[in-house]
Amino acid sequence: MNNPHDNRNEVVLIDGGRIPFQRSRSGYNDLKAVNLSRMALEGLITKSGIHPSVIDLVVMGTVIQEVNTSNIAREAALAAGIPAEVPGYTVTMACISSNLSLTSAVEQIRSGKVGIAVAGGVETMSDVPIRFPRSFRKKLLAAQKARSIGDYLSFLFSLRPSDLFPDAPSITEYSTGETMGESCDKMAAKYGVGREEQDNYALRSHQKAAEATEKGWLDDQLFPVSFPPDFNLIRHDNTFRADSSLEKLAQLKPAFIKPYGTVTAGNSSALSDGASAVLVASRPKAEELGLKPKVAFRNWTYVARQPDDELLIGPALAVPRLLDEAGLTLDEIDVFEFHEAFAGQILTVLKALDSNKFAKEKLGREKKVGSIPLEKFNSWGGSLSLGHPFGATGTRLIATAANRLHHEDGRFALIAACAAGGHGHAMLLERVEES
């Protein structure tokens, strides 16, 4: 296997960013996912200053696919002016889809087959594909064989009112039938994470996002966009609540398990639209093109478990594995960027990492992994406040972690995320010093 610390095989992040995330049915209400991903690619190309012709590969992640643009990486790349000779493919792994798009691109570069690549992800909840029920789809497909008036009449008389009720995508686990919110509620209760603790954390996330926006810390990763017919410029996320308070959060009712659940709309990530992208290259290719890398990709891991009452515990399984492989401890990490699906989810993960009981029962270790200092954790906001367009969150985390490493003069950054299906992911980045 290639040695990632060999400069010939070292893969570095040149730059990254995203279009501002928007609450669903707001800023991007009239746009398709392909429009969002095109704008992210255009923003990345403009910001990095590269010519599209130097790109060797485009990989993107998404979750709810539109059938007409199922390989959205290819369609977005063509729309963004990337040469037709550059291949593109799309991956999906629930909420870590763009993490997967990135590691797929990095692996291609490490293999020597690719020199420079774009990876990213996109999601819109404002334009989800709505299908007819399976009963109607079967009748419609059968009707394609109709040849006579009698055949067409048989088709029409076979229809029932229930055939015509739309079948919208359901955000549930196929294997269990439960929503993520229900699973999170159960997990939080199991680990003793209460409502007040969740609301406090949610408020922190919104306050951190508001502060980072106000102080301009997010500007380097935001690609302002405008589009017809109004061409109103969107500069910032509209997902965080700068005026949120514990009093307001406390008034919200349980969203999933009623009446005693602790997960509410206020301590959950909101349905959001957005796209993100990063530019990655081999170290020699970056030097050849005169590009300054921000961070190097050291290692990553993906894990999975039974999608039951601990559906979202994945990061607590992935992080220790990654640290062991890297020979590091939590104390040596300077920047933590973890996906916040729900306040209850992220607090449970932090609690599990700091639990000897969890270490013994779930990790086969004698001692806990350790406590993560909150002053190093998601200090520019997180998915609870910045939004969570499913396929775009992973590369948003990467770009933020890279920028924070330089802003906070750190060396190592640790990214982690949970995902549907009982998945978890963790990644280690190391800052590249400016020469």
Active site residues: 95, 418
Of 108, 117, 95, nearest in space to 422 by CA? 95
Distance CA 316, CA 359 (A): 9
Cβ proximity of 45 and 260 under 8 Å: no
Of 341, 339, 365, 340, nearest in space to 354 by CA? 365
**Residue ranges of the alpha helices (H) in 162-309?**
180-190, 195-214, 246-250, 283-289
Pairing of strands 22-23, 116-123: unpaired
> Using H for helix, E for strand and C for coil, what is the string for 140-178?
HHHHCCCCCHHHHHHHHHHCCHHHHCCECCCCECCCCCC
CB half-sphere exposure, 277, CA atoms < 13 A: 27
Distance CA 295, CA 201 (A): 29
> How many CB atoms are located within 10 Å of the residue 393 CB?
33
Which SS3 state, helix, strand or coil, does residue 304 take? strand
